[in-house]
């Protein structure tokens, strides 16, 4: 069984769906969590762990021609990780393992390094910094906050408001199958908004027990402080390393 590494949510102002979208591109009913590839639907608690980190915290990438006009926005999202953690995104030259960002149907990614070319889809409705940071978080090995084992201590789930047949998108991970690297964070870029998988796109499906509003990824400016902490822990970015790296970059 793998271990789970969870990143956690941020704020902005929100619409029920990205502007101009009739269907939320991050809520594909055929993918676990709406945007994660490669999770066995019959065993959704088996989540990648340290073994699926990217080697030396370097993620080779290719940006498909279909996303060329959005290159600057994608690089901005990558820079959020590079400026705050030891993770580095490098344009692919010859590397066997890499991510390929392209404009597909919706937003989705594998969780962690799977080997070979792995897709990261940024289709219509996905070109927001927060959403791109979210999908890159999956590629780095992180899962959704709303599925962590202690979720019920922090969120109230309104099961009757969930689109019929999608209740399992709120499956909780078993305590022994996830590592909680920090307390629950309502401001994580990896946490969905109040109306995720709503039967009418407006009724709340999950509410914070503190009463704070949960915003969608497209309304978030990027990584929260807690997200940064988790990435550094997972990729062993200690403070001494960060100091040296900042000096090198300057």
Is residue 135 among the annotated active site residues? yes
Q: Is 134 one of the annotated binding-site residues?
A: yes
Nearest to 223 by CA among 79, 28, 109: 79
Q: Is 138 one of the annotated binding-site residues?
A: yes
Please, what's the largest Cα pairwise distance for the chain? 53
Active-site residue, from 68, 88, 135, 145: 135
17 and 201 Cβ atoms separated by less than 8 Å: yes
Q: What is the DSSP letter of 32?
A: B
Spatial distance between the Cα atoms of 46 and 177, rounded to a whole number of angstroms: 7
Spatial distance between the Cα atoms of 148 and 52, rounded to a whole number of angstroms: 19
Spatial distance between the Cα atoms of 143 and 162, rounded to a whole number of angstroms: 20
Q: Which residues are annotated as a binding site for Zn(2+)?
A: 134, 138, 144
Kindly list the catalytic residues: 135
């Amino acid at each position: 069984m793998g271990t789970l590494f969870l990143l956690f949510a941020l704020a902005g102002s929100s619409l029920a769906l990205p502007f101009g979208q009739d269907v939320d591109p991050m809520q594909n009913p055929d993918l676990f969590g709406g945007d994660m590839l490669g999770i066995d639907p019959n065993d959704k608690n088996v989540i990648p762990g340290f073994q699926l980190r990217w080697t030396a915290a370097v993620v080779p990438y290719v940006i498909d021609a279909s996303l060329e006009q959005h290159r600057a926005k994608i690089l901005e999202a990558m820079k959020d990780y590079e400026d705050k953690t030891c993770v580095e995104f490098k344009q692919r030259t010859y590397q066997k393992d890499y991510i390929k960002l392209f404009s597909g149907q919706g937003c989705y990614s594998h969780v962690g390094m799977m080997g070979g070319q792995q897709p990261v889809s940024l289709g219509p409705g996905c070109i927001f910094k927060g959403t791109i940071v979210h999908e890159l978080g999956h590629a780095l090995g992180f899962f959704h906050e709303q599925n962590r084992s202690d979720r019920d201590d922090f969120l109230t789930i309104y099961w009757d408001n969930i689109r019929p047949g999608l209740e399992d998108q709120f499956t909780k991970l078993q305590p022994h199958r996830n590592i909680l690297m920090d307390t629950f964070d309502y401001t994580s870029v990896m946490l969905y908004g109040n109306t995720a998988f709503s039967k009418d796109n407006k009724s709340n499906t999950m509410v914070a027990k503190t009463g704070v509003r949960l915003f969608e990824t497209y309304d978030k400016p990027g990584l929260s402080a807690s997200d940064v902490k988790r990435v550094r822990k997972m990729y062993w970015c200690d403070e001494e390393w960060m100091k040296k790296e900042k000096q090198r970059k300057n």
